[in-house]
Amino acid sequence: MPQKQLPEKICPRCLRPFTWRKKWERDWERVVYCSKACRDGRRPLRKAK
């Protein structure tokens, strides 16, 4: 898949966009957080402006 066409989501914890990765190929629909740190709650919640 060309990089320009990769799907993107917004992490609900840090509000940063993250793009599709090969390791998430089978689970992309279930991926919610951008990283393990966000998933485990180690990063503080950011409020939307």
Domain range list for the chain:
3-39
pLDDT at 3 over 70: no
* 7-49 confidence digits (pLDDT tens): 999 999 999 999 999 999 999 999 999 999 999 988 777 776 6
pTM of the predicted structure, to 2 decimals: 0.74
CB 12 within 8 A of CB 33: yes
